[in-house]
Chain A
C-alpha cells in the first residue's frame, strides 16, 4: 500500500542526531587528516547535509497537516501556479515547477492523492490540466494516474470518473491554453507532452477496455458515451497499441468474477463478447479513419499548385492536374489500410476467442463447476466454454454495429 505515515517527534530526533554528526564531521575536517580521506569526509558531510535538508522538508511539508488543510494548501499551490496564464508556456521550458512537489506528495501518500484528485475533479478541468501539463516529470504523472485507476485497488466507478476527467482535461488542452501568453513556448516539448498524455490515456483505459462498452454497467457507465470516449482515446497510434494490448488481460479479468447461475453466466459471456466485438471494431475504425484523414490532407496539399496563378497554358494545366491526380492515387493507402485492419481485426478476434475459451474453462474450475483434469465436464459448463469461444469469434457482429453507430 502506498501510504506515508510521519512521526514528527522521531523525525526531529533523527534530524538532531544528524546535526551532531555534521558537527563531528566538520571538526574532523578542521584537523590534519590523511589526504586520501579528506574527499571522503567532505562527501559524507555533504550527504549528511542533504539528508538533514530532506528531513526538514518533510517536517515543513503539507503532509503533516490534517487532510482537509493539506488538500487546501496543495490546491492553493496549484491555483497560484495557474493564476498566471503564462504557466502553459513556462511548463514547457522550466526544469521544475511548483506542481512537481504536489505530484510527489500525491504519489507518496494514497489518501493525499485521493483527496486531492477528487477535489480537483469536482472543479472542472483547469486544475487537472495543471497537474498533467505543469509537472515536469511525466514518469511521476504516469505513475500517479495509473495508480489512481488501477483495477487491483480502485473501485470501478471511481476509476471511470477519473479516466473521464483526465481524458476531458487532455482533450480540452488546445482550447484552454492561452495561444499567446508572452512567455516562450517550447512547441516540441508541448507536442511531446501531448503524445505522452495520449499514450497515458491508452494505458489507463487498457485494463478497463471492456467496461467502456459491453461491461459499462459494471462501472456505472453508459455504453454509448463509453464507446465514443474509447474511440477518442484510441485515435492515437501509441494509445491504440496500449488498448489492444489490454484486451487479453481484460478478458481474463472479466472471467474471474462470474455469477454463479448458468443463465447469468451465459449473459455475462454475451456481454464480454459484445465488448470485445465493439472494442476491436473501434480499433479497426480508428486505423481506417486515420488513413482517410491522411489521404484527404495529401489531396489538399497536392491540389495547391492547381490554384496558383502559374500562367500555364490550357494543356499544361491539364497535364499538371493529371500528374497530381496520379501522385495522389499512388500515395493513397486507404484501401490497403482497410484491408490490413480488417485482417488484423479478424486475427485479433480468433486469438481473443481462444483466450475467452480458456478463461471460461479456468473460471469453471475455480468456481468448482468442473475438475481441473476435465475428467467430468457437466453439460451446461461445456456449453458455457463453447459459447465463450463462439460468442467472441462470431457474435462480435453485434459489437460491430454498435461501434459503427
Chain B
C-alpha cells in the first residue's frame, strides 16, 4: 500500500510554492513601490518559505 505522503499531492505543493514565488517576483520586478507593496512582497516570501519547509519534511 503506498504511503499517503508519496503522493500525487507533492506536485501540487510544489506548484503552489512556485506560483507564490512567481507572484512575489512579479511584484518585485514591477513598477509597484511603497510600504503596502513591500509588506505584500515580504509576506509572499515568508509564505513561500513555509511551503518549502513543508516540502522538506514531506518524506520524513
Contacts and interface: CB of A to CB of B under 8 A. Distances in A.
Interface string B1-35: 00011011100110111011011101101111111
B47 A44 contact: yes
Contacts of B37: 4, 6
A24 B35 contact: no
Contacts of A48: 16, 20, 47
A41 B50 CA distance: 9
A326 interface: no
B54 A37 contact: yes
B34 A47 contact: no
Contacts of A5: 31-34
Contact of A33 (B7, B15, B26, B40): B7
A27 B24 CA distance: 22
B52 to A, nearest CB: 11
Interface residues of B, number: 35
Chain B facing A: main interface SS = helix
A109 B34 contact: yes
A34 B30 CA distance: 38
Contacts of A83: none
Nearest to B53: A40
Interface in B39-60: 40, 43-44, 47, 50-51, 54, 57-58
A241 interface: no
The 3 closest A-B pairs by CB, nearest first: A10-B30, A4-B34, A21-B19
Interface of A: 2-7, 9-11, 13-15, 17-18, 20-22, 24-25, 27-28, 31-34, 36-37, 40-41, 43-44, 47-48, 51, 54-55, 58, 108-109
Interface of B: 4-5, 7-9, 12-13, 15-17, 19-20, 22-24, 26-27, 29-37, 40, 43-44, 47, 50-51, 54, 57-58
Given A21-B17, A47-B47, 14 more contacts: A4-B36, A5-B32, A11-B30, A14-B23, A14-B24, A21-B19, A21-B20, A24-B12, A24-B13, A24-B19, A27-B12, A34-B4, A43-B50, A58-B36
